[in-house]
Structure 1
Amino acid sequence: MNQIADQFQTYDVTGGPEYGHRNLPKLRSVMKNLGIDYFLVPHEDEYQNEYLPDCNERLMWVSGFTGSAGAAIVGLDDATMFVDGRYTLQVRQQVAEDLFTFTKMEGGGMAAWLRTHVKRGQIIGFDPRLHSPAALGKIRDAVKLAGGETRSLSTNPIDQSWDDRPPVPLTQVTVQPLDLAGKSHAEKRSEIGHSIAASGADVALITAPASIAWLLNIRGQDVQCTPLPLSTALIDATGQVQLFIAPEKLTDDVRSHLGNEISVQTEDALQGAIGNLAGKTVIVDPNTASAWHVDSLKAAGAIVKSAADPVALPKATKNATEIQGTTAAHIRDGAAIVRFLHWLDTDAQSGQVDEIEAATQLERFRRIDSSIRDLSFETISGAGPNGAVVHYRVNTGTVLPLNRGSLFLVDSGGQYPDGTTDITRTVPIGEPTQEMRERFTLVLKGHIALATVRFPVGTTGSNLDALARYPLWQAGLDYDHGTGHGVGVFLGVHEGPQRISKAPNSIALKPGMIVSNEPGYYKTGEYGIRIENLQYVTEPEAITGGERDMLGFKTLTLAPIHRDLIVLDRLTQAERDYINAYHTRVWNVVGPLVNGEAKDWLQSACAPL
């Protein structure tokens, strides 16, 4: 395994207070030359990706903060960091307190701060490529109310100040073959073109790299954890596409794959192409496009139609080939998880293992499969109280041992050419308390309810969310995250437009959609519990004696659920039957892929309750 050690996820805290001390003076010098009093620094980049290429880690460069959500407002004499509740500890570890004031993102964020802190006549600079139209609208209103002025900057002052900025990624684009994609890009482009025409538009501006990757059956390596080629595209009602991408990324084979109906241009050519859309009705998704896109279209005389990305829903509705591929990927991933769970139940019970060692061991088991391309996200490896931090990211500054008498929560996934996985398991280290077992069982009951529900066509994830929470609610408990998110096929581990959560969602669940099923419970300062499988929506079927065909779910994830955490007398017979049937399937499908002590352990872990 040593030959792949350099590919492993790293856990060193790469940011730190020295970033602010070193880089704030550089930024302020450029700000003075530009004549601005404040500059806005969101975490987002030009592509609104979950993970950023190193060259777009602007918030880290100016502050040292490495979290996945946050923002800063840098003034000539002061600076403020905004983070949500997940990062209150991390921000103090990484950001210099003598340079930045720390503020919660909740409660209005940057717009609320600007409304109360900007003085009359001050100028607030921003990069329009990094802000959504809605967010920027709130910022402009707040600054105007305070008597200030907002100024759109053509060049980001951080980019001007960053003298050792990493290069823009130029990794080669690869073709997603038809035997994994299931549809040619010609078919996909034709379908999207028809939907654009049906909406009364002429063109759609596609700014989400994941949508472009799916539409054109290509993948890339420009960001970690998600196989994306950074790019932008225009697709018209005939299905013809203009792809704006660094041409160095395209091999002759990829150009041949794209064909004559896809015009390849440099990313810089996008502005000129937008200038040719005068009088055209252009679909723009306000959730993925930037204010720069919208402002540029309006300046060109285009008619902006604010609507959902027309690729998003077809991408989320997997075809039979994609389902077949991701099923195979989950089986192979299941073998890695089984080896890891066996290791947790044996070697890791010593109390001498820590969170980083556990996460590395899991990645080592995954990389036994030579087809793996990357992790699908940074592993959440939470021991004891760290397991109660929902989006905990283990690092050398926060790492804890897996102590006996505690729970260990591990949420992880892999990127394979045929599928993307995401699984959470909660494992006892030593003897769990009765409270741990009781609450784990309540979470399990909610998980089973969501896995087994049948529902009519037109049902949304919001309609189903309460099923997973009901057992917890009856005990006066709940969790503060969504129950399910969409998942791609060798694409993003988090994708829309479907989701299962309390928040209203108007997108009906459709056959082929993949969603996670992940209820949980978190006791602050003590432990966390989450049980997560991926499942996809099945075709509507008749129910004996029923009047309407009903959709359902088929579980993709295959790994045991820890039986020592289940209070059997809290389960109904139907719930016991479900667990027994699920574990029988795990044994039958994954069992042949493991051997030795791991296989013996799996047989015991899957024995009937």
Structure 2
Amino acid sequence: MFESVFQSFDEQADGTQGAARVTALREKLARLKLDGFLAPRADRHQNEYAPPSEERLAWLTGFSGSAGTAVVLADKAAIFVDGRYALAVRGQVDVSVFEPVDVGTTSVADWLRANLPRGARVGYDPWLATPAQVERLARAAADAGAELVALDANPVDALWTDRPPEPLGRIVLYPRKLAGESAGAKLARVGEALKGADALLVSDPHSLAWIFNIRGADVSHTPLPLGFALIPRAGAPSLYLDPRKLAAAPRKALAALAKLKAPDALERDLSILAGEGRKIVFDAATAPSRLVALAREAGGVVEVGADPSALMRAKKNSAELSGARAAQLRDGAALTRFLFWFAQAASKGGLTEIEAAQALETFRRETGALKDLSFPSISAAGPNAASPHYRVTTKTNARIGRGLYLIDSGGQYEDGTTDVTRTLAVGRPSAEMRDRYTRVLQGHVAIARAVFPRGVSGAQIDALGRLPLWRAGLDFDHGVGHGVGAYLSVHEGPQRISKLGTTPLEPGMILSDEPGYYKGGHWGIRIENLVVVELREIRGAEREMLGFETITLAPYDRALIETKLLDDEEKAWIDAYHARVRKALSPFLSRAEKRWLAEATAPL
């Protein structure tokens, strides 16, 4: 299965075709009297994982990452990526055609200001950009004396002759015992949250799935049904889904909750609602600028802000948390079986990144509960691990030799979503590897042990995961943690532990705890568990306090731990965690696997 997936991906995301495809695009733009075009990696919902039919950036440039934008002008082109993809992008795109630009240093807007000629007309697809994105880029174009032009059709689509069809994944009902709350109750909560507004346009499929207690199969790795909904403050909502996705049972259940309509009815209904002067809330993070502009033009009152269901969804109820813990236990046993297998297979030599990823997926599938991987496994040996979001393909597949191997992976189970990273030594690690690994582990443990007052955000906690590295003059270019959904996205907002994480952390939120360190061209280290925000009882506390419950269960690599760097409290936490791992997972393992786990989790 892996081999065919990687081969088909290579064929679609082919950087060697960049020059020919950009030439064809420029010819198309000239016929449209345009001087440039913006090609973001986006679909109509700003999904992290888009269906193959929406992977325009990959088709045009060869870049396979989950975030990026290409700008094509008549005489130059650039591709903008963040620090996660700084190394990967150069190996995927034709750099003689696309100049790789670090968006953290030079934004797309700044580049447009510096490079657009006066009088230039630059096109964009208003279905693939949010209002804030359009406003920012339009202002930059105006500063350069140029103009940003909304297009009725995406010019890439006219060139992409073998573009895959739009997805028609079947929609299923999500069981109440796992959801923990009925769809009717969720709709009532959303309606109450609208306050002075008349309706909410739901443009985020994660919210759509959560509110209506449904799951779909329109994109890989996340069980999303692509569609929209209009939820009034009072009365029946309208749900815009392709009817071919609905079998009799889910159709009947959803028809009792909402008016079921085809997707092409949305623009008409939105225009009618806005034409009555109604106030409509749009999600700033996912709403297409096309729909916001349509509502404004029809005379509606537009509020672009936060979808209130996003925060509701982030705070898991007791049923969702029970499911998450069950999923982590099951997944931890599968991962530990893999770690036992890897310890033997890697020592023999010849093992490849794809073979290791295949093996881990096999162990997960043997649970009988795996629905999908929660993201493409990051199976990275040596220098490949220095790219935080490296994706192995048949072209890059490396043999796992002496040094470090990083495996970042997760599963989608009906009761929960998992995400876990372990860095493993193959052969005897160097002193530098042990030092860096231990500093990363110290940051990881600091996050797990953190206690903080209610109201604190992830931005205030992020530094805890970096301090041991900072003391040695080191750092890494990604956040310490992201939110995780309940059989939904492995990367869920608005909660995160990051310099940009402004949402206060609340009980029930699930986040990752994953500091790292990357030595460019040599190796990389990351350690990741999932944690749940929980209330903490502290005697004599003057404020309500919170902390984290670690729910991922898998051993760390003791061969990489330099105990001289650890203080007594850090050692005690690691020993207690390993004892918990050993007790929880041993019942699911063979006799040989149990013996290995006992050694792997022995006290430091």
TM-score (norm 2): 0.94
Where does 1:92-131 land on structure 2 (aligned, <5 Å)? Answer: 92-97=90-95, 99-131=97-129
Q: Is the 8 A contact 1:410 1:425 kept in 2?
A: yes
Give the equivalent residue in structure 1 for 2:518: 522
Match of 2:449 in 1: 452
Aligned to 1:440: 437
Matching residue within 217, 220, 233 for 1:237: 233
Aligned match for 2:206, one of 210, 233, 237: 210
1:217 deviates by 0.6
Q: 1:108 to 1:589 in 2, by over 3 A?
A: same
SS at match of 2:210: helix
- The 10-residue stretch of structure 1 (15-24 or 573-582) with the greater mean CA deviation from structure 2: 15-24
Contact 2:510/2:530, CA 8 A, preserved across alignment = yes
1:167, distance to aligned residue in structure 2 (A):
0.6
Which residue does 1:431 correspond to in 2?
A: 428
Which position in structure 2 is the counterpart of 1:354?
Answer: 352
Whether contact under 8 Å (2:85, 2:388) holds in the other structure is no
In the alignment, what sits opposite 1:201?
Answer: 197
Residue 112 of structure 2 aligns to a residue whose secondary structure is helix
User: 1:185: how far off?
Assistant: 0.3
Shift of 1:534: 0.1
C-alpha deviation, 1:25, in angstroms: 5.0
Q: Distance in 1 between matches of 2:3 and 2:209?
A: 27
Quote the offset at 1:557 in angstroms. Answer: 0.4
In 1, Cα distance between the equivalents of 2:123 and 2:40? Answer: 12
For residues 394-409 of structure 1, the aligned pairs below 5 Å read: 394-404=392-402, 406-409=403-406
Choose which of 593, 596, 600 in structure 2 pairs with 1:601. 596
Gap change, CA 1:460 and 1:121, over 3 Å in 2: closer
Q: What fraction of aligned residue pairs are identical, expressed as a percent? A: 47
- The answer to whether the 8 Å contact 2:529/2:550 transfers is yes
Q: For the structure 1 residues 202 and 521, does the alpha-carbon distance in structure 2 shift closer, same or farther, using more than 3 Å as the test?
A: same
- Residues 189 and 240 in structure 1, CA contact (< 8 A), matched pair in contact too: no
Mapped pair 1:499 → 2:496: yes
In the other structure, the counterpart of 2:551 is 556
1:481 is aligned to 478
Q: Which secondary structure state, in structure 1, belongs to the residue aligned with residue 207 of structure 2?
A: helix
Contact 1:45 1:56 in 2 (8 A): yes
Displacement of 1:81 in angstroms is 3.2
**Aligned partner of 2:296 among 298, 311, 319:** 298
CA distance in 2, matches of 1:22, 1:481: 34
Structure 2: any 5+ residue segments left out of the alignment?
none
Deviation at 1:349, TM superposition (A): 1.9
* CA distance 1:393–1:606, change in 2 (3 Å): same
State the 1:201 CA deviation.
1.2
The equivalent of 1:533 in structure 2 is 529
Q: Is the 8 A contact 2:459 2:498 kept in 1?
A: yes
Match of 1:389 in 2: 387
Determine the C-alpha separation between the residues in 1 that align with 2:553 and 2:227. 35
Residue 585 of structure 1 is matched in structure 2 by 580
Q: Does 1:567 align with 2:565?
A: no
Identify if the C-alpha distance between structure 1 residues 92 and 512 changes in structure 2 by more than 3 Å, giving closer, same or farther: closer
The correspondence of residues 250-329 of structure 1 with structure 2, limited to 5 A, is 250-278=246-274, 279-329=277-327
Q: Which residue of 2 aligns with 1:468?
A: 465
Query: Are residues 104 and 533 of structure 1, via their aligned partners in 2, closer, same or farther at CA, if it must alter by over 3 Å?
Result: closer
Q: Distance in 1 between matches of 2:471 and 2:19?
A: 51
What CA deviation, in whole Å up to 9, does each residue of 1:165-189 have, x standing for no partner? 2110011101111011110100111
Q: CA deviation at 1:7?
A: 8.3
State the secondary structure of the residue aligned to 1:191: helix
Q: Is the 8 A contact 2:88 2:387 kept in 1?
A: no
Determine the C-alpha separation between the residues in 2 that align with 1:572 and 1:80: 48
| Contact 1:329/1:421 (8 A) holds in 2 | yes
Give the Å deviation of 1:323.
Answer: 0.4
**Per-residue deviation, 1:76:** 4.9
Q: Which 5+ residue runs of structure 1 have no aligned equivalent?
A: none
Equivalent pair of 1:8/1:360 in contact (CA under 8 Å): no
Q: Which residue in the other structure is 2:131 paired with? A: 133
Q: CA deviation at 1:263?
A: 1.1
Secondary structure of 2:466 counterpart: helix
Shift of 1:72: 2.0
- Cα separation, partners in 2 of 1:84 and 1:518, compared to 1, 3 Å: closer
* Pairing of 1:35-50 with structure 2 (within 5 A): 35-50=33-48
8 Å CA contact retained: 1:203, 1:237: yes
Partner Cα separation in structure 2 for residue 114 and residue 552 of structure 1: 44
- Helix, strand or coil at the partner of 1:277: helix
Quick one: distance in 2 between partners of 1:397 and 1:262?
A: 48
Q: Kindly report the root-mean-square deviation, in angstroms, between the aligned alpha carbons of the 2 structures.
A: 2.1
Match of 1:68 in 2: 66
Give the alignment's TM-score, normalised by structure 1.
Answer: 0.94
Instruction: Please report how far the alpha carbon of residue 102 of structure 1 lies from its aligned counterpart in structure 2 after TM superposition.
Output: 4.3
1:222 equivalent to 2:218? Answer yes
Shift of 1:437: 1.5
| Further displaced range: 111-120 or 306-315 | 111-120
- What is the alpha-carbon distance in structure 2 between the residues aligned to residue 11 and residue 398 of structure 1? 14
Q: In structure 2, the residue corresponding to 1:462 is in which secondary structure?
A: helix
* Structure 2 letter corresponding to 1:191: R
- What is residue 490 of structure 1 aligned with on the other side? 487
CA distance in 2 between partners of 1:73 and 1:281 (Å): 35
Query: Whole-Å Cα distance in 2 between the matches of residues 468 and 447 of structure 1?
Result: 6
Structure 1 residues 593 and 55, CA, compared in 2 at 3 Å: closer, same or farther? same
